[in-house]
């Protein structure tokens, strides 16, 4: 059995060594850049590499430059405040956050599609110009949600000079400042959500202690009251509406 595994390993190594040589013999360029000046053409391998790199960065872009971070953190804090454990499950919270993010970001994404994607795919706009056109709506969205002190902190850390307007802030500085502001906003909203549920826990614990029922867990008694309060005030609509309204400026 070990001998067969050894032969399979040797066969795989031979194939890995022979495939590049065969491709070279057939005249298929694995990596090739041709052309001079403005008319530069890249081989299919480089184009596929760029496409795969972009696809791997899409989740990070979703986290760094949209409203997803604030929404998912608030939803997680809400679940913890309710004391329901893993209800709703993580998949449900991520799905809610994702579609609410698409709802909030729809004007920005529509602007990116009209100003960058359509001209690039149908009108032959150059890639660098399309990238700049796509950056403008995202930059406008992030600047509105970012605190000035956060931008100033990262500008100081990067040892950048003071800028006259937010449009001159480098994109690599704006993104971490935006993430920091989103974390601050998310935890502030989560703190305000947590307060009424903590009050219910304190009231239930005080009643149980006065009745001499110290061995009974207050969480077991308070969770139905918290769920009832949340349902009576239409909590999901309030939370989602407040989160969507927090991005309107």
Distances from the Cα of 40 to the Cαs of 35, 116, 117, in angstroms? Answer: 5, 21, 21
Residues in CB range of 42: below 8 A, 6 or more apart: 32, 33, 50
Choice between 231 and 116, residue whose per-residue pLDDT is larger: 231
Output the CA–CA distances (angstroms, integers) from residue 6 to 2, 49, 92, in the order listed: 6, 32, 47
How many CA atoms lie less than 13 Å away from 191 in the CB half-sphere?
6
- 3-state secondary structure (DSSP) of residue 34: strand
Residues 6+ apart with CB under 8 A from 130: 116, 117, 119, 120
Specify the higher pLDDT residue, 56 or 18.
56
70 neighbors 105 (Cβ within 8 angstroms): no
Counted residue by residue, the chain has a size of: 249
The answer to whether the CB of 142 falls within 8 A of the CB of 176 is no
Q: Which one of 64-78, 126-140, 147-161, 204-218 scores highest in mean pLDDT?
A: 64-78
Split at pLDDT 50, 70, 90, the class of 183 is very high
d(CA 213, CA 225): 18
Reported as a pLDDT band with limits 50, 70 and 90, residue 184 is very high
Strand extents, DSSP E, the chain: 33-34, 41-42
Radius of gyration of the chain (CA): 27
Place of tokens 């001079």: 36
**pLDDT value at position 24?**
39
Angle at 18 between CA 14 and CA 49, to 5 degrees: 110
Whether 139 has a pLDDT exceeding 50, the answer reads yes
């Amino acid at each position: 059995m070990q001998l067969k595994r050894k032969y399979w390993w040797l066969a795989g190594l031979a194939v890995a060594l022979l495939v590049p040589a065969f491709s070279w013999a057939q005249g298929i360029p694995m990596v090739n850049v041709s052309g001079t000046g403005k008319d530069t053409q890249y081989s299919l391998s480089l184009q596929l590499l760029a496409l795969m790199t972009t696809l791997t960065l899409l989740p990070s872009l979703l986290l760094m430059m949209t409203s997803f971070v604030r929404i998912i953190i608030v939803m997680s804090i809400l679940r913890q405040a309710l004391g329901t454990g893993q209800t709703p499950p993580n998949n449900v919270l991520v799905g809610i956050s994702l579609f609410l993010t698409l709802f909030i970001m729809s004007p920005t994404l529509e602007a990116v599609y009209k100003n960058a994607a359509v001209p690039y795919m149908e009108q032959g706009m150059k890639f660098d110009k399309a990238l700049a056109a796509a950056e403008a709506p995202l930059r406008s969205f992030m600047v509105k949600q970012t605190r000035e002190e956060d931008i100033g902190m990262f500008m100081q850390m990067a040892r950048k000079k003071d800028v006259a307007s937010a449009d001159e802030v480098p994109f690599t500085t704006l993104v971490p400042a935006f993430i920091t502001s989103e974390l601050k906003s998310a935890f502030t909203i989560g703190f305000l959500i947590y307060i009424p549920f903590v009050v219910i826990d304190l009231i239930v614990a005080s009643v149980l202690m006065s009745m001499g029922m110290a061995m009974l867990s207050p969480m077991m008694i308070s969770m139905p009251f918290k769920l009832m309060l949340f349902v009576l005030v239409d909590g999901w609509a309030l939370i989602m509406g407040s989160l969507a309204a927090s991005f309107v400026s």
